[in-house]
A and B are shown apart, each in its own frame.
Chain A
Amino acid sequence: MAASEAKPPAAARSQARERAVAYLTSRHRFRLAEVLPWVLALAAYFLLPDRMTFGGQVLIMVMFALSLDLILGYAGIVTLGHAAFFGIGAYTVGLLAARLNYSEPISGLIAAALVAGLIGFITGWFLLRYRGLTLLMLTLATAIMLQETGNLRSDISGGYDGLPGLTIAPLFGVFQYDLYGHVNYLYVLGVLAVIFFFVRRLVYSPFGQALTGIRENVRRMHAIGSPVHRRLVTVYTIAAAIAGVAGALFTQTNAYVTLTVFDFDVSAKVMVMLILGGTGRLYGAFAGAVVYMVLEDYFSKLSPTFWQFGIGLLLVLAVLFARRGLLGLIEDAGRYFARGKP
């Protein structure tokens, strides 16, 4: 038991209470450091004007990785088919634009979110009863089946050659997409900011905490009365919707989409990004996506083979030594240096 304290026990206990309450009631408040990624994103706009097309794609990947963090980092569900929702969102916008001549951007995003969310809800309801290898295979098979379905009706989908004749209407009827991607970049950044705001609130809400509980000990969650399956399907649906928005932005900013958006490669890539950045931390998606995309952009131009080897090696090293990703390393370093201070 605790050694005797200088103060009488009652006072000491209430001091401990206040500390506990103070800590937990302030965890969700904005920390100054959280401004950093947004400042950097805006700085990039002014400092790197000729890399804005690339920048837009990076932001899209951040959003995609963020959606995966909800199910992988927070709820602890491992899947291999997250690209399915990215693809669904991409094709919702693509088909609306190419086949129905409808390309208003904002409503396109909403449509993509709804369709992807619906598919997420349906597949999640069935599949989230399973775990481990079974779930990995089921989600992988689902994504591949979607891709094959698109391939089957390549007359509608454009197959692997892509949807022809995609034009996207100007944003708000005013801002036309320019060749250098400036409008795109700010547009994607804006959407990302809105989505991030909601995701952040979700994560600190009781629902978000329940997800953490499910991840940490699902048996316990059942025993305290948590409707686990319902919670998982809910977060899966939300994550699917966000991934769908990311896919929609992909089509809108590229004015092009092919069936490769459903590739296993895409699911693997976003998982690697998230792991590299650090799961369950929201900002891990930022760190991981940026680092991955920048490295890929540089190295795969140098030599695709070296890039593939490098990313494989990075993955192995991360699992061996940096399990909590880049942000985990930074946190560890911070703690290490803090300890060194007198």
Chain B
Amino acid sequence: MPQVASIAVSILFDGLAYAMFLFITAVGLSVTMGLMNFVNLAHGAFAMAGGYIVVTLTRSYGVGFVPSLLIAAVIVGVASVPFERLLYRRFYKATDLEQVLLTIGLAFMAIATFTYFYGPIPKSVPLPNWLQGDINLGFRLFPSYRAFLIALGAALIAVLWYSFERTNIGAKIRAAVDNRRMAESVGINVDRLFTLTFALGSGLAALGGGLAIQLFGLSPSFAVIYLVLFLIVVAVGGLGSLKGTLLAALVLGVFDTAGKYLMADAGGFFIYAVTVAVLLIKPAGFYGRE
């Protein structure tokens, strides 16, 4: 392949994989923030927790990588329910600031706890053979793991899209995001809906955390470092929008990857410049409501 095209393909491929990771982890945050207007800065901690569960399962119990991902998602999803019911619920009507402080505090506690049990040194995860090395897609070799990530992301997008657009419960969620009071008045139990979406979102975050280990390594500070990225994806995409989160993940993922490829030193700059540009023009994000 010619040099420029080859680089472009690499950027697109890596950018797509990165975007899938961003989408999977951030989509739960977008829906819960759009549904309940709740700023949850502990979302990154859920992702981190998922990652550590995967590490423990694969390293200490010999469970396979993919099954570990699923188990971690379920564990974190279920464990998030008491958080929502007992703590978060009391703050839905609170100010932005109070929500920010509460969830930052929880994130700190989570990071400290995991540092205590796992130590600060980044962890890696043993991958099955078929996820190591490269895969031949005909015209080029691509890293298998990233290909897996893209395929998994696409599958999840399809499932989520179907659930949102075609199922009863998806319709209820969309209605509640659009106009909560109206949804309540037609008999939708918004409280239970939120617990469900919160659990789902946290589970997906855990999945994303598990998937991120191979990309970035896992250490407790993951919870805060990548939180910024998730928040940016959510803000740029628009709260409560599946489409928005996906578009934002793609745009930001590809831009960031391109930046890092083409200008190694300034790499990090792009993603924030794009964010500022988008938010100045469309403060509610691509598909957000004012």
Contacts and interface: CB of A to CB of B under 8 A. Distances in A.
Interface of A: 72, 78, 126, 129-130, 132-134, 136-138, 140-142, 144-145, 148-149, 151-152, 264, 268, 271-272, 275, 305-306, 308-309, 311-316, 318-320, 323
Contacts of A78: 96-97, 100
B163 interface: no
A315 B235 contact: no
Contacts of A268: 104
Interface of B: 33, 39, 91, 96-98, 100-102, 104-113, 115-116, 224, 228, 231-232, 234-235, 239, 265-266, 268-269, 272-273, 275-276, 279-280, 283-284
A189 to B, nearest CB: 30
B105 A312 contact: yes
A311 B266 contact: no
Contacts of B268: 144, 148, 151
Contacts of A315: 101-102, 104-105, 108
Contacts, number: 111
Given A309-B113, A315-B102, A134 B269 contact: no
Contacts of A142: 272, 276
A275 B275 contact: no
Contacts of B276: 138, 141-142, 145
Interface of A is mostly: helix
B103 to A, nearest CB: 9
Contacts of B283: 129-130, 134
Contacts of B39: 133, 136
Contacts of B116: 305, 309
A132 B285 CA distance: 13
Contact of B112 (A137, A152, A306, A320): A306
Contact of B232 (A126, A137, A275, A323): A137
Residue of A129, A134, A268, A319 most packed against chain B (CB within 10 A):
A319
A40 B269 CA distance: 44
Nearest to A123: B276
A144 B109 CA distance: 24
